Structure 1
């Protein structure tokens, strides 16, 4: 079994048994799980209610140790939300495990069914958003102006719009949206408060599991940091996200999005909900542009970013990138704030 840098199941087992609580773990207890995303492999530790989370590559462009330490901090801090897997250990990079791994608690649940499970996802996000940044937030980022930071990320990734095979119509529409985002034409008045909380960032519905009690668990904390809650609310409910995972593959109606936002609003303190509302449209545009630029990159480099993906998953990703970068789909999404 291998990822981008390659890892061996034997090396994984050896590393796991160096953890005191897993010293007696048998090799046949390791059960590779089906690949769902593009950045990690997962191996279940049968009988232990644990999962090894093995990076295939860093989506943030970090070296192996920095990426592992950041993810470990994310799992440890988010655990108090009650909606993320517990942190159980770190396996350092080494021979046969070049990017290392994390050990986290296993969550038993099913992929969300939309729109029915969107309120549960809203409550999970609310639990994260109730967490303010600590005084010492490193190694997790906490930009003082998360909106400017998100725009800067879009600017860095915008080169992929030029490198991707987009139609002239798509290029023109994206250029309009980029110009409008730079001008801040959806920004609220300058004196509007800028909330800063824990945010999951990669909160598309496929990164949640719904347990037997209907509770949503956010499972992919690679990008967790401190930022603006409105970006999470956008990413969880935009067409570009709800169609990303082939097991979710749903489109929300405007009423579904409204109900999702309302479920979140009643689960957070009233002052936080009031501070977030004025930023909804601007952050929805910026978050959408962030996703579009990432998918433009995927359309160019997908085969090299995450090799050995199952063909059905690669085909879905490729088709999704093609769909969301069509001018008709771009027009559909941007009508939300026009």
Structure 2
């Protein structure tokens, strides 16, 4: 079998040729699409030269959907978020074919710089508030929603937690994570039905572009759902998120995290802020649990001999070697007992964040 890097280059060559053909036929553009640096496990990105547009080409379906349904879902994410003014516009959709097994979307190319922390965290909070403040539609479909969003995501966590038995995970780490799952289940029972809104469910700092006016635009939208806003606030500020991206991010103090939450509370409608505040800490724990159990799943499912049974595919052959090495390093870090203890102290101890969210 050819090395993973050769498989990736062959796949990218076929994608580039197909995108060039589509660009010529549909948009009158004869230039070669330009591949951007590989930063994510779910998409490749190609700039369409001479325009302010780029192709988002899925490598897989993070939602385990068939290719056409996956493309429908992603297109719906862009359409639902666009009225908030802090996401790229959707311009076109390219159906799946042999060269593009998952199709592609043509979206607005947002120009700017990667997010830097802590300086950009308040802009990120305002970006999320613009999305969370959008009115709820009559029908949530095709986007994911649960009757009780905390119960729903806990079911996802329990599924991913089956991978905690991986031999690379220390027994202490495994026990700490399972104890937090039990505590999160108790929280969900006590909270009942929390505040509900459109969320990105992928709000880590690497997914933002800061524009010249220092406003933040979130550019990765394929996992949006209707759920609780604290999941996004957590995903934007947890250590497992702020240290995830190769280019963007940084480490936040508890005081800086609290400032990010306070900024969000100021920028969403007042009644919604009052409704959401009391469950933000519980949602922070839940988002971390989803992330850390995903790490356990990735350890197993990224191996060459893992037999994938769905369109969700974490194979290292789909991504650049530098990216997969970076992900492996981050996953190893996040599953260390001392890192787990430090993160959990954010909601277990008395601090500026817990005081704000009471």
Compute the TM-score of the two structures, normalised by the length of structure 2: 0.88
1:197 maps to 197
- Deviation at residue 66 of structure 1 after TM alignment: 0.5
May I ask how many residue pairs the two structures share in their alignment? 331
Write the deviation string for residues 274-311 of structure 1: whole angstroms up to 9, x where unpaired: 11111011111111000001111222223552425333
1:171 maps to 174
2:29 maps to 25
The separation in 2 between residues aligned to 1:73 and 1:259, in whole angstroms, is 32
Q: Is the 8 A contact 2:118 2:256 kept in 1?
A: yes
Q: Is the 8 A contact 2:8 2:320 kept in 1?
A: no
1:134 maps to 137
1:1-40 matches, cutoff 5 A: 6=11, 7-19=14-26, 22=27, 24-28=28-32, 30-40=33-43
- Deviation at residue 272 of structure 1 after TM alignment: 0.9
The separation in 1 between residues aligned to 2:129 and 2:147, in whole angstroms, is 21
1:292 maps to 292
Q: Is the 8 A contact 1:164 1:296 kept in 2?
A: no
The separation in 2 between residues aligned to 1:4 and 1:57, in whole angstroms, is 16
The separation in 2 between residues aligned to 1:60 and 1:4, in whole angstroms, is 25
Q: Is the 8 A contact 2:7 2:317 kept in 1?
A: no
Q: Is the 8 A contact 1:166 1:325 kept in 2?
A: yes
Judged with a 3 Å threshold, the aligned counterparts in structure 2 of structure 1 residues 175 and 5 are, in CA distance, closer, same or farther, namely farther
1:334 maps to 344
Greater mean alpha carbon deviation, residues 141-150 or residues 277-286? 141-150
Helix, strand or coil at the partner of 2:92: strand
1:108 aligned to 101, 106, 111, which one? 111
Helix, strand or coil at the partner of 1:198: strand
Q: Is the 8 A contact 1:208 1:216 kept in 2?
A: yes
The separation in 2 between residues aligned to 1:264 and 1:334, in whole angstroms, is 22
Provide structure 1 residue ranges, at least 5 long, that are not aligned to the other structure: none
1:276 maps to 276
Helix, strand or coil at the partner of 1:77: helix
**2:163 aligned with 1:156:** no
Helix, strand or coil at the partner of 2:223: coil
Q: Is the 8 A contact 2:95 2:104 kept in 1?
A: yes
Q: Is the 8 A contact 1:200 1:224 kept in 2?
A: yes
Q: Is the 8 A contact 1:3 1:55 kept in 2?
A: no
1:232 maps to 232
Q: Is the 8 A contact 2:115 2:209 kept in 1?
A: yes
The separation in 2 between residues aligned to 1:178 and 1:136, in whole angstroms, is 31
Judged with a 3 Å threshold, the aligned counterparts in structure 2 of structure 1 residues 50 and 36 are, in CA distance, closer, same or farther, namely same
Write the deviation string for residues 25-79 of structure 1: whole angstroms up to 9, x where unpaired: 1043x11111111110000011110000000011111110000001011111211
1:94 aligned to 73, 76, 97, which one? 97
Greater mean alpha carbon deviation, residues 241-250 or residues 82-91? 241-250
- Deviation at residue 256 of structure 1 after TM alignment: 0.5
The separation in 2 between residues aligned to 1:5 and 1:160, in whole angstroms, is 31
- Deviation at residue 264 of structure 1 after TM alignment: 0.7
Q: Is the 8 A contact 2:59 2:318 kept in 1?
A: no
- Deviation at residue 137 of structure 1 after TM alignment: 2.0
The separation in 2 between residues aligned to 1:140 and 1:17, in whole angstroms, is 32
What RMSD, in angstroms, separates the aligned Cα atoms of the two structures?
1.9
Judged with a 3 Å threshold, the aligned counterparts in structure 2 of structure 1 residues 308 and 134 are, in CA distance, closer, same or farther, namely closer
